[in-house]
Amino acid sequence: MSPEKNRRNPLWRWGLTLLALVVPLLVGYVVYLQQRMPVLDFKLDGYTGRVLFVPQDSFADWAGLQAGDVILTVDGVPFSEWRDPAVGNYPMEIERAGQRLTLELPLVPLVKVNLAPLISGVVVALVFWGTGTLLLWRRFWQEDVRILFSLAQVFAVATLLLLAHPSGTRPRWMTLLTIACFHLAAPLLLHHTLSFPMPLGSPAQRRLGLSLVYGLALVMLVGTLLWEEPWVRLGVLYTTLEVIAAIGVLLYAYTRRATPDGRRRLRLIVFGNLLAGVPALSLYLLPSIVGSSYRMPGWMIGLFLIIAPLSYLYATMRHNLFGIDRLLNRALVYALLSLGILFLYLGPFVIIYRFLPGDALLQTMVAAGITLLVGLSFDWVRARIQQVVDRASYGGWYDYASVVETVSDALARTLDRDRLNEVLTRQVPTMMHLHPARLQIGEPTGFQAHMRPLTPSTMQFKLTFQGQTRALWTVGPRRDGDDLTVTDRRILQTLARQAEVALSNVLLVETLRRQLEEIRAMQRQLLRSREEERARLARDLHDDPVQSLVALNLQLGLLLAQAEPSPSPLVETLKAIRAQVRELLTSLRQVCAELRPPMLDALGLGAALRALVDDWTAQSGVPVQADLSPNEALRSLPEEVSVNLYRVVQEALTNIARHAGAQQVTLRLAWEDSRLTLTLHDDGQGFSVPDTLHHLAAEGHFGLVGVQERVNLIGGTLAMESAPGRGTTVRVVWDSPTR
């Protein structure tokens, strides 16, 4: 059923209205019943008549009754047959130490011996009832409010009957109603936490789970009413588990599902529910389950339970949970005003009636003077009370200088849109006690449609960049419902000018980042193009000059085979030419290998690295311990990844040969699940690793800059660890998207 249908449905109105009348009527009946119900103000065994305990300064103590006395007759009727007493004094024959005595003992109304529990139960019940009724009055079409209202009413009835009425004096129907309310309150609490502050699970899942919860609660209730033991303890255990589950759901929603802003708004409710539920759960329900005689007193349970509805009220006023914070705020202000006026009138008139009861002229003059005083000071007093209430509701009036200083500092350090949006839409409204603001950032066109005329409660600011409107900041209204003051507007105008500067910084930084990304894209394309050109040049050299030199070498060999065996100038010349051809052929093959290692395409990265390590060891004389994955595991690498990892090792070995002065080098290339890790370590002299790539280039480490560029090209990560005298470790990690 939609909210609009709920709003128009009279069944909801009448049903909830009748339910709201239950608690006040029941409170009145309990007070009336305790005024009419006669009780003895001492404890005794109802079967034997033996007095168990006589409170000090009680009516029985004043009459001389002592613990251990046995009541024999009351008003001439044997104690076991005495029924339906009324309030009054009764002669009672007692037996004490073998002697029979007659004492005049009174029966007093229950309210006289039960005043503190009665007040505790009534206050707790009325707080629960008032909280639920007030929320329902303003938002009765919301399902979560209706659930909360039902929970508050059921809990009010249960706590009233449990705390206000002693167990030995409750009528049977009252005991049954108490049990029923407690069995219904626990599933309602779980129902509420599953739907507020945010629904958990799908509607079908919630319906299925709640049907099971309510069904089991009904079974426990029927078992408790019909069969009692052991259903009583089983019912208490089930109720306790429901309460624990509700607390767990509330904590899960708060810690896992709520947004940071939602957690800030719900922190009071979570804390209030925990503070109200944990002591009652651990010190009352759990001892009841295990049959312990020690339990927290009922009046103390009431003090803890009352925290839950009060936390809802305070959170509603402070964070507008149900959209009625202004109503509660103003209601509290005028309630305090009314009480103040009442006491202002009551005090002087009590004094007049006490000392000058018949002076009508003086009474009239006092009344006129108080009325004039109230009229002249009403606005001033209301404003001061409003400040006090606002300080409690919204955190107090903001300090203007502090707002400007704090926000200016935050805007000066703002370099991205998210941070600018956070400052202008969250931080400023929070500090100035405004509703959340709105910031729209876009292109120069399109803002005119969103412009609205200024009102006393809102303001809009156009933020420009290079002479064009690039953002629209909408601020207000105040959380207390009043219009923006002149000071508010001046503060907001000052902050808007600073926000314009911050917006310029943000847009300039975004432009620079786009240009930098374009440069990096061009750089990556240049690396690819250079590698492609090197591969093409290697193929061209191999297919043309190298093959021509091979053919020339063969021809020279044939000529030498046909020449005369005796030395001659021609033979020597041919041998010299053939030696030069072979030397040139070796040089060209070395150039081709450096441009594009042939093993990289033919046998894969593993074989190419082994060949590179062998050649480098032969040239430098430094041994390399190579731990490489099998060739089969590396052949599936993309060509771009293989080439760049090869170049990284090549550049690193070149740096080691030139600068490190190492005695031992370790190379490791291995798969770890879908992650390929390349590690190259030397025991050379090491160096101080700069913080950024810019510092690497500034210090002349252009080879390492090239390594960083190649690693970025394949989407890997590069880490370098080094220190003077401790060698250097280069580690490259590449995550395979398909392995």
Map 236-269 to HEC letters. Answer: HHHHHHHHHHHHHHHHHHHHHHCCHHHHHHHHHH
Q: How confident is the model at residue 25 (pLDDT cuts 50, 70, 90)?
A: very high
Asked whether residue 537 is assigned to any structural domain, the reply reads no
**Higher-confidence position of 520 and 500:** 500
CA atoms within 13 A on the CB side of 506: 24
Nearest to 668 by CA among 606, 632, 626: 626
CA-to-CA distance for 100 and 593, rounded, in angstroms? 125
Nearest to 487 by CA among 390, 371, 400, 391: 400
Report the share of the chain in percent with pLDDT over 90: 0
Helix/strand/coil percent split, the chain, to 5: 65, 15, 20
CA-to-CA distance for 330 and 328, rounded, in angstroms? 6
Q: How confident is the model at residue 444 (pLDDT cuts 50, 70, 90)?
A: low
Both tokens of residue 327? 């109503």
Position 217 scores a pLDDT of: 83
Confidence check: pLDDT of 6 > 50: no
CA angle 648, 650, 656 (to 5 degrees): 100
Query: Which residue type sits at 308?
Result: A
Task: Classify 396 as helix, strand or coil.
Answer: coil
The pLDDT tens digits for 627-656 are 888 777 677 777 778 878 888 888 888 888
CA-to-CA distance for 268 and 247, rounded, in angstroms? 14
Classify strands 665-672 and 624-628 as parallel, antiparallel or unpaired: parallel
- Do 135 and 249 share a structural domain? yes
Distance of CA 480 to the CA centre of its chain: 26
263, 298, 318 — which closes off a domain? 318
Lowest mean pLDDT among 411-425, 499-513, 616-630: 616-630
- Give the N- to C-terminal CA distance of the chain in Å, as an integer: 51
Q: H or E element: which one contains 393?
A: helix 360-394
Kindly give the interhelix angle for 143-164 and 298-305, rounded to the nearest 10 degrees: 160
Position 288 scores a pLDDT of: 60
Q: What does the pLDDT average to over 160-185?
A: 81
CATH of the domain at 186: 1.20.1070
The pLDDT tens digits for 458-480 are 888 888 888 888 888 888 787 76
- Do 234 and 353 share a structural domain? no
CA-to-CA distance for 556 and 560, rounded, in angstroms? 6
Query: Which residue type sits at 56?
Result: Q
Q: What does the pLDDT average to over 551-577?
A: 71
Both tokens of residue 85? 């007493």
113, 129, 150 — which closes off a domain? 113
CA-to-CA distance for 684 and 585, rounded, in angstroms? 36
- Do 189 and 80 share a structural domain? no
* 675-682 β-sheet, strand order: 624-628, 665-672, 675-682, 728-735, 717-722
Distances (CA, A) of 98 to 44, 70, 90, 201, 569: 19, 10, 22, 72, 157
The pLDDT tens digits for 298-317 are 667 767 777 777 777 666 65
Q: How confident is the model at residue 4 (pLDDT cuts 50, 70, 90)?
A: very low
Burial 491-512 (b: 16+ CB within 10 A, else e): bbeebbebbbebbebbbeeeee
CA-to-CA distance for 359 and 353, rounded, in angstroms? 9
CA-to-CA distance for 498 and 476, rounded, in angstroms? 18
User: Residue 197: is the preceding peptide bond cis (ω within 30°)?
Assistant: yes
Q: H or E element: which one contains 705?
A: helix 702-713
Q: Scanning the structure block, which residue is given the tokens 């705390």?
A: 163
**What SS3 string covers 595-632?**
HCCHHHHHCCHHHHHHHHHHHHHHHHCCCEEEEECCHH
Lowest mean pLDDT among 128-132, 245-249, 735-739: 735-739
- Do 204 and 163 share a structural domain? yes
Quote the radius of gyration of the chain (alpha carbons, Å).
Answer: 45
Nearest to 121 by CA among 81, 77, 167: 167
- Do 294 and 145 share a structural domain? yes
Q: How confident is the model at residue 598 (pLDDT cuts 50, 70, 90)?
A: low
CA-to-CA distance for 665 and 729, rounded, in angstroms? 10
Asked whether residue 291 is assigned to any structural domain, the reply reads yes
Lowest mean pLDDT among 165-179, 365-379, 534-548: 534-548
Asked whether residue 81 is assigned to any structural domain, the reply reads yes
Contact between residue 86 and residue 65 where contact means Cβ atoms under 8 Å apart: no
**Higher-confidence position of 728 and 9:** 728
Task: Classify 43 as helix, strand or coil.
Answer: strand
CATH of the domain at 94: 2.30.42.10
CA-to-CA distance for 11 and 21, rounded, in angstroms? 16
User: Residue 279: is the preceding peptide bond cis (ω within 30°)?
Assistant: no
Distances (CA, A) of 280 to 78, 239, 247: 43, 12, 13
Both tokens of residue 208? 């299925």
> Quick one: residue 476, left, alpha or beta (phi over 0 = left, psi -120 to 50 = alpha)?
left
Find residue 39's DSSP bridge partners.
108
Is residue 576 packed enough to be buried (19+ CB in 10 Å), middle (13-18) or exposed (0-12)?
exposed
Q: How confident is the model at residue 320 (pLDDT cuts 50, 70, 90)?
A: low
Confidence check: pLDDT of 342 > 60: yes
- Do 284 and 215 share a structural domain? yes
Position 207 scores a pLDDT of: 83
Asked whether residue 540 is assigned to any structural domain, the reply reads no
CA-to-CA distance for 565 and 228, rounded, in angstroms? 126
Both tokens of residue 590? 């070395």
Position 558 scores a pLDDT of: 72
Query: Mind giving me the DSSP string for 661-695?
Result: --S-EEEEEEEETTEEEEEEEE-S---PPPSSHHH
Nearest to 723 by CA among 689, 693, 695, 700: 689
Domain housing 153: 3-32+115-318
Contact between residue 63 and residue 94 where contact means Cβ atoms under 8 Å apart: no
Output phi, psi for 628, to 5 deg.
Answer: -120, 150
Output phi, psi for 101, to 5 deg.
Answer: -130, 155
Contact between residue 74 and residue 106 where contact means Cβ atoms under 8 Å apart: no
Asked whether residue 242 is assigned to any structural domain, the reply reads yes
Both tokens of residue 565? 């065996």
- Do 342 and 303 share a structural domain? no
CA-to-CA distance for 523 and 339, rounded, in angstroms? 77
Q: What does the pLDDT average to over 226-243?
A: 76
- Do 380 and 250 share a structural domain? no
The pLDDT tens digits for 647-690 are 888 888 888 888 888 888 888 888 887 888 888 888 888 887 77
Confidence check: pLDDT of 9 > 70: no
Output phi, psi for 648, to 5 deg.
Answer: -60, -45
What domain count does the chain have?
4
Lowest mean pLDDT among 99-108, 322-331, 421-430: 322-331
Task: Classify 323 as helix, strand or coil.
Answer: coil
Asked whether residue 574 is assigned to any structural domain, the reply reads no
Nearest to 193 by CA among 141, 270, 279: 270
Q: Of the spans 9-13, 56-60, 155-159, 515-519, which averages the highest pLDDT?
A: 155-159
Confidence check: pLDDT of 618 > 80: yes
**Higher-confidence position of 176 and 310:** 176
Asked whether residue 657 is assigned to any structural domain, the reply reads yes
| pLDDT, averaged across the chain | 76
Burial 324-355 (b: 16+ CB within 10 A, else e): bbbbbbeebbeebbeeebeeeeeeeeeebeee
- Do 169 and 100 share a structural domain? no
- Do 312 and 182 share a structural domain? yes
Position 3 scores a pLDDT of: 45
Q: What does the pLDDT average to over 338-347?
A: 68
Is residue 387 packed enough to be buried (19+ CB in 10 Å), middle (13-18) or exposed (0-12)?
middle
**Higher-confidence position of 183 and 301:** 183
- Do 332 and 291 share a structural domain? no
Q: Scanning the structure block, which residue is given the tokens 């700069």?
A: 690
Asked whether residue 521 is assigned to any structural domain, the reply reads no
Lowest mean pLDDT among 54-58, 474-478, 557-561, 723-727: 557-561
- Do 731 and 693 share a structural domain? yes
113, 131, 148 — which closes off a domain? 113
Contact between residue 164 and residue 30 where contact means Cβ atoms under 8 Å apart: yes
**What SS3 string covers 495-557?**
HHHHHHHHHHHHHHHHHHHHHHHHHHHHHHHHHHHHHHHHHHHHHHHHHHHHHHHHHHHHHHH
